[in-house]
Amino acid sequence: MTADALPAQRKQIDTIGLLGRFAPLIFLLVLMVAFWLAEPNFVKPLNLTNIVLQVSVTGLLAIGMTFVILTAGIDLSVGSLLAFAGLVGAAVAKGGLESRFAVGDVTEAAGYGWGLAMLAAIAVGVIGGTLQGLAITWLRVPPFVVTLGGMSVFRGAALLFSGGGPISGFSEGYTMWGKERLFRDLLGGVGLPVPALIFLGFAVIAFIVLRYTRYGRHVYAVGGNLEAARLSGLNVRFIITSVYVIMGFFAGLGAFVLSARLDSAEAVAGQGYELTVIASVVIGGTSLFGGQGSVVGTVIGALLIGVMLNGLQLNNVSSYIQQIVIGLVIVLAVAFDLFLKSRRKT
C-alpha cells in the first residue's frame, strides 16, 4: 500500500516546493497576460521599458534592502536618506545653493560636474548607512528603531539643507543618467533606459555577491542564526554594519538617478519609498526573519509592483486605489509564502 503511494507523494512535495520558489514569477506572468488582454498597448516595447524605468530607483534600493533583510534587519530610512543624498549631490553639481534654478551652461561653469555630484550623493548615502549600522551593532538599538529615527533625521537634514525648496535644472551630462536610452536599435527603436540598465546591472552584481562570495555566505549565516554565526568565527558586527553601508550606497545611487530623471532634487523626494522597497523584497520571497531569499526574487518583486501600477494606470484606476492594492498585495504575498512553508514542513 505504501510502496505505490510514494512516488505520487514525492511529486507533490516538488510541486509545493517549486510553486513556492516560482510563485512571484508565475504571478508576474499571469498579471502581465491579464493586463495584456485588458489593454493591448500594455505589451508595447515602450510601455514595457517604461515599467522597468519606473521601478528602477525603488529597485536599486530594494537590492540594498535585500542584504539588510537577509540579516533579519530592516531599513525604514531609505526614502529620507535618498532625499538628503540627492540634494547634496545636486548642490555639488550646481556649485552651491545660489544657482539652484539656473539652467544650462551657467550651471556647468559654477558647479563641479555630474561625476562629483554622483560621488557626493553616494558618499552621503554610505555615511548615513554606516552611522545607522554602527548604532545597531555598537549601541545595540534594534534596526527598526534606529532606522525609524534615521527616517526622521535624514528628512529633517534634507529640509534643513535645502531650505525646503528643490534644486533643479541640470546639465545634459547629469540628466542623461535618468533620461537617456541606450541601444536605440533594440526593441524597434525604443532602446533601453539608462536607469533600468543601472538597476539590472547592480542586480546581477548583487546576485553574484550573495550567491558566490564568502561575504554573501556570511550575510545568509548571520540572518539564519546569529549565535551560530558568531560561534563559527564570523565577525557578525562587521557583517551587520556592512549591510546598512550597502543599503546607504544604493540610497545614494538611487538619489542621483532619481534627480537625473526628474531633473530636480527635492527634500520631499522618496517619501513612502520604504513601503515599496520593502514590499519588493518581501513579495520576492525574502524572509523578514532573515537567512532566506535572493536578489532574483527582489527583481521580480520590484517588476511585479511596477507592472501592477502600470496596468492599473493604463486601465484608469485611480492612484488612491493603487495604494490600497499595493498594501493588500504585500500582506497576501507574505501570507501565501507562509502558507507554502507550513505545507512543506509537515
Residue 306 φ then ψ, to 5°: -60, -45
Of 78, 192, 234, 309, the one binding another protein by CB under 8 A: 234
Of 10, 140, 319, 342, the one binding another protein by CB under 8 A: 10
Residue 167 φ then ψ, to 5°: -120, 120
Residue 181 φ then ψ, to 5°: -120, 135
Taking Cα atoms as reference points, which of 82, 92, 77 lies closest to residue 60?
A: 82
Name the CA radius of gyration of the chain, rounded.
21
Q: Is 2 in the site for another protein (CB under 8 A)?
A: yes
CB of 334 to another protein, least distance (A): 17
CB of 344 to another protein, least distance (A): 9
* Of 57-65, 139-147, 192-200, 226-234: span binding another protein (CB under 8 A): 226-234
- Give the nearer residue to another protein in terms of CB position, either 179 or 230: 230
Q: Is 44 in the site for another protein (CB under 8 A)?
A: no
Q: Is 140 helix (H, G, I), strand (E, B) or coil?
A: coil
Task: Retrieve residue 61's grid coordinates.
Answer: 534600493
Residue 182 φ then ψ, to 5°: -105, 170
| CB environment 136-167: b (16+ within 10 A), e (fewer) | bbeeeeebeebbbebbebbbebbbebbeeebb
Of 139, 214, 272, 342, the one binding another protein by CB under 8 A: 214
* Of 9-17, 35-43, 83-91, 104-112: span binding another protein (CB under 8 A): 9-17
Q: Which residues, 193 to 212, sit near another protein by CB under 8 A?
A: 212
Question: CA dist 8 to 5, 63, 147, Å?
Answer: 6, 39, 48
Q: Is 155 in the site for another protein (CB under 8 A)?
A: no
Of 4, 6, 37, 319, the one binding another protein by CB under 8 A: 6
* Of 90-98, 217-225, 253-261, 262-270: span binding another protein (CB under 8 A): 217-225
Contact map string, positions 309 to 328, toward another protein, x by CB under 8 A: --------------------
Of 225, 271, 313, 322, the one binding another protein by CB under 8 A: 225
Residues 6+ apart with CB under 8 A from 139: 146
Q: Is 21 in the site for another protein (CB under 8 A)?
A: no
* Of 40-48, 223-231, 259-267, 308-316: span binding another protein (CB under 8 A): 223-231
Longest CA pairwise span in the chain (Å): 84
Q: Which residues, 253 to 292, sit near another protein by CB under 8 A?
A: 291-292
287-28-310 Cα angle (round to 5): 110
Binding residues for another protein, per CB under 8 A? Answer: 2, 5-6, 9-10, 12-13, 16, 212-215, 217-218, 220-221, 224-225, 227-235, 291-292, 346
